[in-house]
């Protein structure tokens, strides 16, 4: 047994491969995509959460801890979205660059004004985020601010390439402005939708449509029969244009609601890469906005 | 604008009227000067108006562009975002976990209290039939400064409060090193470091109960050093120096000063995007002085407990997971046993093992679990004075459980144990447990 122990211990030790460029760990796919727009080939990006996964229920897997161990910068959504696993990842990574207060600890929400900030919070309201709705990646203007913050972060960390990062930011902003002219032409003003989760609040604020009801009675709490009945009543009165749902979250409930009310379902990606043709931020927003027509 | 012009007109009129009463020679000159000054005023007004119009036009253009204008530099908001979340500022994070259960068994309370495992432990079962309160566990944690994080765990039971854990973890050591010091749960094996409320079943696995006690090794005072090298797959290596107060494996009086040492390696690879394998060996060595192994006798000597852990978790969706977990423990204990009544001493040699395997499948709010535990699987040496003592067979247990989790903060569990560990009377302990767990306060971490 003692010999086996030593043998297994030795087997686990072998040389570490070398990395070039700034190592960035991003919790969510959209953050990784934003970093990639600015850093391109000068950075290595590891995204912890797979596009198909739901950011609310993630465990600190050892592979995530290892990625953080090798990182120069960890970028996260903030507003307590990652509170369940990020503190553990940062502490277990044993990487002093990532502790709060250091430049390597990059909270993307520091650049944005959050919506839905509740004045009083307790958990009887479900999994409410006291700092506001954390799904601000549906807001192009907010993500652009984050991208600008990333530009400054990278320019500080790698001064030799500061001009390169700034040029990438400008190119990204210009591409986004061009696309936004098309998106602004999509008639979404005054449309009414039902949604499963509070994902689309930022989009509704920017494009002037309304979310008149939620399939989830409270964030993270699955619906009861009584709640669904009430929702059907609302839908009969208000006649919403569609039910908005993401493939990872609540598809079954949305389908049954659609069958009962005849209101169509619009499936939207919840993050970059979670549906086909949404491989970067701009194609993700494009898919979301054009799907809402 | 018009009012300004008409005001200046009135002003001129008043001046002209007043000037009529002054010297006639001055009139022309004065009128000319007034004329000039009014013209200058009008020019200024026109310039200001142009500036206003320009600004208005700018504003209109910006409105037309909507959100496409380039963001102004600098953070929009200044937000506190600490390690454990932004809502707590300088106060420590506090959470409380209530763990209670209803217990049923075919055995009587006094029989449960004497339900040790012959050849392993004389410690009986603590629970009583009916309602039991395991603990209301209070967790308090916060960063101390940029160099340490501080954690405490104080379970309040009906007997009082107990300081189960109080330790600091370093955050600023370089090269993947981390220190821990204080009173903490050892990282020897997998179950040992978990708190009772985080176990996948109501009770700890049989090998841990047989070699370490009903709650594992428990909090031990000491220090730990771990290292996570930047390799291509996750491997953490660690060592601990502990006081060695666990009453079953070591005993506080076994030696003055620290007398327990651990070594462990934990490794992990992702077997796919949605599945992870985690495994590693660990060992704990130390001096032993305990009366909890053989009835009415004291064991003094040296112990070594070796462990091998393996976990495979498949998580295809956010609310669906299958976890298969297994551990194997081997104890080697050498020393003397002294009868407390007669003071007769015998040499003692124990080489015994224990194994469990469990599977939990959780989907949405529901979970089902199965577990099999067995002792003396491959090794069953228990020699006193060089003579093997019959322990009567392989103690074993089968378990099934059903969980209902309304949210991640509340859990209910119904568990049945078919406990065949009593090899002396060979009576089965059929246990039925209905357990409730609730947690409030700071968000607990989702450990793998």
Q: What is the mean pLDDT of chain A?
A: 88
- Range 38-97 of B in CB contact (< 8 A) with A: 65-68, 70-71, 73, 75-79, 81-87
Residues of B in contact with A4 (CB under 8 A): 281
Question: What's domain B94-441's architecture?
Answer: Beta Barrel (2.40)
A189-240 pLDDT, tens per residue?
889 999 998 899 999 998 999 999 999 888 878 888 899 999 999 998 989 9
- CA distance linking residue A143 with residue A172, whole number of Å: 11
CA angle, B305 as apex, B303 and B308 as ends, to 5°? 170
Q: Find the mean pLDDT for residues B414-436.
A: 94
- Check B226 against A94: CB less than 8 A apart: yes
| B250 CA: distance to closest CA in chain A (Å) | 20
B14-50 pLDDT, tens per residue?
444 444 444 455 666 666 776 777 776 776 676 676 6
DSSP 8-state assignment for residue A137? G
**pLDDT at residue A140 in the model:** 93
pLDDT at B65 exceeding the cut of 60: no
Q: How many CB atoms lie within 10 A of CB B142?
A: 18
- Range 217-256 of B in CB contact (< 8 A) with A: 226-235, 237
- CA distance linking residue B340 with residue B297, whole number of Å: 5
- Check A12 against B267: CB less than 8 A apart: yes
List the single residue in B67, B83, B281 with the smallest CB-CB distance to A100: B83
- CA distance linking residue B159 with residue A139, whole number of Å: 54
A64-87 pLDDT, tens per residue?
999 999 999 999 999 989 988 999
Size of interface A-B (CB pairs under 8 A): 192
Question: Strand pairing partners for B412?
Answer: B404, B436
Q: What is the CA radius of gyration of chain B?
A: 38
**pLDDT at residue A118 in the model:** 79
A177 touches chain B (CB under 8 A): yes
- Check A96 against B84: CB less than 8 A apart: no
Name, in order, each residue with C-beta under 8 angstroms of B298's C-beta and a sequence gap of 6 or more.
B289, B290, B291, B337, B338, B340
| More confident call, A252 vs B67 | A252
User: Would you place residue B146 in the very low, low, confident or very high pLDDT band (cuts 50, 70, 90)?
Assistant: confident
Contact between B357 and B325 (Cβ < 8 Å): yes
User: Would you place residue A161 in the very low, low, confident or very high pLDDT band (cuts 50, 70, 90)?
Assistant: very high
pLDDT at A6 exceeding the cut of 70: no
**pLDDT at residue B360 in the model:** 97
pLDDT at B425 exceeding the cut of 90: no
Long-range contacts of range B49-52, CB-CB < 8 Å, 24 or more positions apart?
A: B49/B1
Q: 3.40.630.10, 3.20.20.70, 3.40.50.1980, 1.10.600.10: which CATH number matches A187-291?
A: 3.40.50.1980
| B7 CA: distance to closest CA in chain A (Å) | 47
| More confident call, B395 vs B44 | B395
- Check B274 against A50: CB less than 8 A apart: yes
Which residue is listed with tokens 């990204």?
Answer: A172
**Alpha carbon A80 to chain centroid, angstroms:** 12
- CA distance linking residue A221 with residue A232, whole number of Å: 18
pLDDT at B8 exceeding the cut of 70: no
ipTM for the predicted complex: 0.82
A91 touches chain B (CB under 8 A): yes
Q: Find the mean pLDDT for residues B212-229.
A: 95
Contact between B338 and B345 (Cβ < 8 Å): yes
User: Would you place residue B429 in the very low, low, confident or very high pLDDT band (cuts 50, 70, 90)?
Assistant: very high
Long-range contacts of range B242-248, CB-CB < 8 Å, 24 or more positions apart?
A: B242/B186, B242/B286, B244/B220, B244/B286, B244/B287, B245/B220, B245/B221, B246/B212, B246/B213, B246/B217, B246/B218, B246/B220, B247/B213, B247/B290, B247/B292, B248/B121, B248/B123, B248/B211, B248/B212, B248/B213, B248/B290, B248/B292, B248/B293
Q: How many CB atoms lie within 10 A of CB A34?
A: 28
- Check B76 against A16: CB less than 8 A apart: no
DSSP 8-state assignment for residue A119? S
List the single residue in A56, A110, A176 with the smallest CB-CB distance to B77: A110
Q: Find the mean pLDDT for residues B208-235.
A: 95
**pLDDT at residue B51 in the model:** 61
- CA distance linking residue B152 with residue B167, whole number of Å: 7
**pLDDT at residue B1 in the model:** 46
Q: How many CB atoms lie within 10 A of CB B177?
A: 13
CA distances from A111 to A146, A271, B24 (A): 6, 19, 72
**pLDDT at residue B380 in the model:** 92
A24-51 pLDDT, tens per residue?
999 999 999 999 999 999 999 999 998 8
Contact between A220 and A226 (Cβ < 8 Å): no
Residues of A in contact with B307 (CB under 8 A): none
A96 touches chain B (CB under 8 A): yes
**pLDDT at residue A58 in the model:** 85
Question: Strand pairing partners for B402?
Answer: B368, B414
B350-392 pLDDT, tens per residue?
999 999 999 999 998 999 999 999 999 999 999 999 899 876 7
pLDDT at B220 exceeding the cut of 80: yes
Residues of B in contact with A184 (CB under 8 A): 66
Task: Report the range of poorest mean pLDDT among A218-232, B67-81, B304-318.
Answer: B67-81
Task: For residue B76, count CB atoms less than 10 angstroms from its CB and return exposed for 0-12, middle for 13-18, buried for 19 or more.
Answer: middle
B222-268 pLDDT, tens per residue?
999 999 999 999 999 999 999 999 999 999 998 889 999 999 999 99
User: Would you place residue A53 in the very low, low, confident or very high pLDDT band (cuts 50, 70, 90)?
Assistant: confident
Q: How many CA within 13 A on the CB side of residue B275?
A: 10
- CA distance linking residue A149 with residue A134, whole number of Å: 17
**pLDDT at residue B22 in the model:** 45
| More confident call, B36 vs A92 | A92
Helix (H) or strand (E) holding A244: strand A242-245
Joined together, the tokens standing for residue B163 give 């300081």
**pLDDT at residue A68 in the model:** 96
State percent of chain B over pLDDT 70.
81
- Range 87-126 of B in CB contact (< 8 A) with A: 87
- CA distance linking residue B399 with residue A249, whole number of Å: 33
- CA distance linking residue B380 with residue A223, whole number of Å: 54
Which residue is listed with tokens 């930022």?
Answer: A202
pLDDT at B74 exceeding the cut of 80: no
CA nearest A219 in B: which residue? Answer: B407
pLDDT at A106 exceeding the cut of 50: yes
Q: Find the mean pLDDT for residues B385-400.
A: 89
B315-346 pLDDT, tens per residue?
988 789 999 999 999 999 999 999 999 999 99
Q: Find the mean pLDDT for residues B299-307.
A: 96
**pLDDT at residue B443 in the model:** 76
Q: How many CB atoms lie within 10 A of CB A187?
A: 12
Burial B292-309 (b: 16+ CB within 10 A, else e): bbbeebbbbbebbbbbbb
- CA distance linking residue B116 with residue B118, whole number of Å: 6
**pLDDT at residue B76 in the model:** 46
List the single residue in A9, A94, A100 with the smallest CB-CB distance to B81: A100
A108 touches chain B (CB under 8 A): no
Q: Find the mean pLDDT for residues B134-139.
A: 94
Q: List chain B domain ranges.
A: 2-63, 94-441
A123 touches chain B (CB under 8 A): yes
**pLDDT at residue B361 in the model:** 98
**pLDDT at residue A46 in the model:** 95
- CA distance linking residue B175 with residue B171, whole number of Å: 11
pLDDT at A160 exceeding the cut of 50: yes
**pLDDT at residue A19 in the model:** 46
CA nearest B407 in A: which residue? Answer: A221
Name, in order, each residue with C-beta under 8 angstroms of B105's C-beta and a sequence gap of 6 or more.
B112, B129, B429, B430, B431, B432
Contact between B408 and B51 (Cβ < 8 Å): no
What CATH number is given for A22-181 in this structure? Answer: 3.40.50.1980
- Range 228-257 of A in CB contact (< 8 A) with B: 248-249
- Check B176 against A94: CB less than 8 A apart: yes
B264-281 pLDDT, tens per residue?
999 999 999 899 999 999
**pLDDT at residue B71 in the model:** 42
pLDDT at A18 exceeding the cut of 80: no
**pLDDT at residue B18 in the model:** 46
pLDDT at A154 exceeding the cut of 90: yes
A117 touches chain B (CB under 8 A): no
State percent of chain A over pLDDT 70.
93
Q: Inter-axis angle of helices A162-184 and A281-291, to 10 degrees?
A: 10
Q: What is the mean pLDDT of chain B?
A: 86
Q: List chain A domain ranges.
A: 22-181, 187-291
- CA distance linking residue A276 with residue A207, whole number of Å: 24
pLDDT at A101 exceeding the cut of 90: no
């Amino acid at each position: 047994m003692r010999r086996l122990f030593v043998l297994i211990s030795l087997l686990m030790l072998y040389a570490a491969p070398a990395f070039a460029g700034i190592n960035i760990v991003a919790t969510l796919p959209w953050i990784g995509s934003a970093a990639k727009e600015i850093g391109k080939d000068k950075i290595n990006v590891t995204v912890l959460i797979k596009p198909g996964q739901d950011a609310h229920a993630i465990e600190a897997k050892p592979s995530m801890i290892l990625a953080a161990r090798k990182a120069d910068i960890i970028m996260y959504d903030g507003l307590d979205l990652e509170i369940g696993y990020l503190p553990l990842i940062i502490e277990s990574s044993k990487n002093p660059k990532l502790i709060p207060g250091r430049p390597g600890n990059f909270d993307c929400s520091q650049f944005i004004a959050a919506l839905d900030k509740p004045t009083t919070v307790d958990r009887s309201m479900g999994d409410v985020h006291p700092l506001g709705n954390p799904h601000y990646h549906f807001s192009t203007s907010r993500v652009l601010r984050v991208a600008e913050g990333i530009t400054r972060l990278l320019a500080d960390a790698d001064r030799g390439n500061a001009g390169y990062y700034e040029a990438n930011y400008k190119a990204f902003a210009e591409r986004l402005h061009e696309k936004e002219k098309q998106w602004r032409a999509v008639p979404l003003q005054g449309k009414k939708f039902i949604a499963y989760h509070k994902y689309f609040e930022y989009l509704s604020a920017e494009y002037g449509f309304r979310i008149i009801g939620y399939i989830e009675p409270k964030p993270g709490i699955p619906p009861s029969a009584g709640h669904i009945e009430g929702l059907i009543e609302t839908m009969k009165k208000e006649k919403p244009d569609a039910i908005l749902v993401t493939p990872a979250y609540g598809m079954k409930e949305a389908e049954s609601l659609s069958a009962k009310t005849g209101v169509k379902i619009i499936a939207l990606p919840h993050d970059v890469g979670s549906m086909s043709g949404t491989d970067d931020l701009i194609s993700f927003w494009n898919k979301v906005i054009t799907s809402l027509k | 604008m018009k009012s300004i012009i008409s005001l200046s007109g009135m002003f001129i009129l008043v001046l002209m009227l007043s000037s009529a009463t002054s010297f006639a020679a001055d009139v022309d000159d004065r009128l000319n000067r007034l004329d000039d000054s009014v013209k200058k005023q009008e020019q200024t007004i026109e310039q200001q108006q142009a500036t206003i119009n320009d600004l208005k036009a700018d504003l209109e253009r910006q409105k037309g562009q909507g959100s496409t204008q380039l963001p102004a530099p600098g953070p929009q908001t200044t937000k506190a975002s600490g390690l454990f979340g932004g809502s707590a500022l300088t106060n420590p994070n506090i959470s409380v976990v209530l763990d209670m259960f209803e217990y049923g068994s075919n055995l009587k309370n006094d029989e449960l209290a004497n339900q040790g495992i012959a050849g392993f432990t004389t410690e009986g079962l603590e629970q009583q039939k009916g309602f039991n309160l395991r603990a209301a566990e209070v967790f308090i944690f916060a960063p101390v400064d940029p160099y340490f994080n501080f954690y405490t765990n104080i379970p309040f039971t009906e007997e009082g409060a107990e300081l189960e854990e109080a330790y600091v973890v370093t955050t600023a050591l370089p090269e993947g090193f981390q220190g821990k010091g204080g009173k903490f749960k050892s990282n020897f094996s997998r179950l040992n470091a978990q708190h009772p409320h985080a176990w996948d079943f109501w009770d700890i696995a049989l090998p841990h109960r047989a070699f370490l006690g009903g709650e594992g090794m428990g909090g031990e005072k000491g220090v730990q050093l771990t290292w996570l090298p930047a390799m291509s797959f996750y491997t953490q290596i660690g060592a601990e120096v502990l006081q060695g107060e666990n009453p079953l494996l070591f005993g506080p009086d076994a030696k003055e000063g620290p007398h327990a040492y651990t070594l462990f390696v934990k490794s992990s690879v992702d077997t796919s995007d949605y599945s992870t394998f985690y495994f590693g060996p660990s060992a704990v060595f130390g001096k032993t002085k305990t009366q909890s192994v053989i009835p009415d006798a004291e064991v003094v000597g040296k112990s070594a407990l070796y462990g091998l852990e393996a976990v495979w978790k498949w998580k295809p969706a956010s609310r669906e997971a299958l976890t298969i977990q297994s551990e194997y423990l081997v104890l080697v204990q050498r020393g003397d046993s002294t009868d407390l009544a007669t003071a007769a001493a015998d040499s003692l040699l124990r080489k015994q093992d224990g194994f469990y395997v469990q599977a939990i499948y959780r989907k949405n709010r529901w979970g089902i679990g199965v577990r099999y535990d067995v002792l003396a699987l491959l090794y069953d040496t228990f020699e006193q004075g060089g003579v093997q003592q019959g322990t009567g067979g392989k103690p074993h247990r089968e378990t099934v459980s059903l969980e209902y989790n309304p949210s991640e903060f509340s859990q209910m569990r119904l568990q049945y144990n078919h406990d065949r560990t009593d090899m002396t009377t060979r009576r089965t302990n059929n246990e039925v447990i209905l357990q409730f767990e609730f947690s409030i306060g700071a968000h607990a971490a989702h450990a793998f």
